[in-house]
Amino acid sequence: MTSKINFFIEHTSHENNQSTVFAQPERPPSRKTNSIELEQLPRGKQLPAASHHPAEPTSIEPTTPPGERTASNSAPTSHTATRTPELPSIQYPYMNRWRLVACCIGFFTQGLNDSAPGALVPYMQEYYHVGYAIVSLIFVANAVGFVAAAPFVHTLQGKFGRAKVLGSCGVMNVLAYVSLICRPPFPVVVLAFLVLGFAFATILALDNVFIVNLVNGTSLLGYGHGFYGIGGLVAPLIATAMISAGTRWSFFYFISLAIQMLGTIMFSWAFRGHETEPATQFLHARDEARLPPENGTRSSSLLRKALKNKTTLLGALLIFAYQGAEVSISGWVISFLIHYRHGDPTHVGYVTSGFWGGITMGRFLLVGPAQSIGERLYLVVLIAVSAGFQLMVWLLPNVIGDAIAVAVIGLLQGPVYPVANGVFSKLLPRELQISSLGFTSSMGSSGGAVFPFFTGALAQRLGTVVLNPICIGLYVVMEIAWMCLPRVQKRTD
């Protein structure tokens, strides 16, 4: 009897359990809900349907810790999906401030390199027993180096990166300065200036493009080239003082050597990893997207496009004339004052420093007002007034008056290079900037060689007074090239 009662109870309870189960509605398998997902799900949107066949972790999603899965699986908001990367500036990324320091050291070293020959040429002539025309070959060799670098700057930068290219160019300069210190035969001196031209052309192009693409790049470029002016200011002072104290002329390059070694270390360290930073990759990807596919390599395609660009050609002509006048004044004004104004060589050697001091002050103080006044009108006035003061140097038969006029010319010409390069960068597509500004820099150095050489060749027959009409003619060319440039339109990229 007891067994029957137990069987009845078990049977009844089993039926009750079944009725209880069938009374409940079916539910899908339970899923742990992520609170973060629910909070970030936009209103009115549905969750994606769950798959009846669970995916294998190795094929669909990596195995990650729970905290990382939550962050990665959360639905991105519209703000984070459309956020534009921050543009590079002097503060971002952090290393940019040290890169700017390295660029300024490079500009300073190039200023030393470009202005020192003006004070050293008379002593080089005396040591090697050569005339104006032969000693002018150092300017020609420097220009050949600049021109030779133009087709390779973009290729080298793309293949090896800025850090390696800038560091290698610094090593080339170190070797060139060591050879000059040793007072080698004159053909080796010419070869050393060719190497310096190639290396400085590459450094200048990469530094200009880096700075001009920073936020407020035009003003920063003006400050950077102000250090070029400082180098141009102190080089004649130091060279003249050393030679007056009985030191041989080649020992001046110990100073250039020491500073170049510092610059080489800074370039190699500061620009390491530059190409992998988000800001750089953002600009690079945008430039790649704008460049249509063409036959040939990318670097040759960019160079062809740059050489067909009106801004590139007119900019190259402007800088060609500008540096022709700048280096001609720096290289020959001392000889003009000695042989035509009968100045004392121990005193007129400092006139070149006044010229470079004016350039330095112009780049630090006169670049900023260009944007408020208007770059086009600003440079038109500066170039015209420079021509007027050059006429004073020609006609005023007084060493002190000529020295003051030369310093004022430097002050007025100081803003021309950075302001012009800032305008070029606004007119040029960003993917052409390295090729275009590299070509422009090369042509500028060509002008800085052709016209000093031309001045020396004419001075051999007509006297160093030819410096003044040559410079006035170059100012006219600058005005024409500047006025023919397209007007700057507001950029949308």
The pLDDT tens digits for 376-397 are 899 999 999 999 999 999 988 8
Per-residue model confidence as pLDDT tens digits over 30-81: 444 444 444 444 444 444 444 444 444 444 444 444 444 444 444 444 444 4
Q: How far apart are the first and last CA of the chain?
A: 95
pTM score, whole prediction: 0.67
> Which structure tokens are listed for 160?
């090896």
The per-residue pLDDT for 47 is: 46
CA 293/CA 72 separation, integer angstroms: 36
Q: Computed from CA positions of residues 209, 215, 220, 222, in that sequence, does the dihedral angle turn out positive or negative? A: positive
Query: What's the chain's average pLDDT?
Result: 79
Number of H helices, E strands in the chain: 24, 0
Q: What ranges make up the beta strands (E) of 244-398? A: none
Residues 6+ apart with CB under 8 A from 491: 426
List, for residues 94-144, the tens digit of each pLDDT value. Answer: 888 999 999 999 999 998 998 888 788 888 988 999 887 788 888 888 888
Alpha-carbon distances, residue 43 vs 46, 75, 330, 360, 454 (angstroms): 9, 13, 72, 61, 77
Instruction: Give the pLDDT score at 165.
Output: 93
What kind of architecture, by CATH, is found in domain 96-484? Answer: Up-down Bundle (1.20)
Tell me which residue of 247, 216, 245, 262 sits closest to 106, measured CA to CA. 262
**pLDDT tens-digit readout, 225-271:** 889 888 888 888 898 889 888 899 999 999 999 999 999 999 999 99
pLDDT at position 295 is: 46
Average pLDDT in the 289-314 region?
67
| 27: confidence class by pLDDT, cuts 50, 70, 90 | low
Q: What is the pLDDT of residue 102?
A: 94
Please tell me the predicted confidence (pLDDT) of residue 298: 54
Domain segments of the chain as ranges: 96-484
* Tens digit of each residue's pLDDT (9 = 90 or more) over 438-493: 788 778 877 877 888 888 888 888 888 899 999 999 999 999 999 999 887 654 44
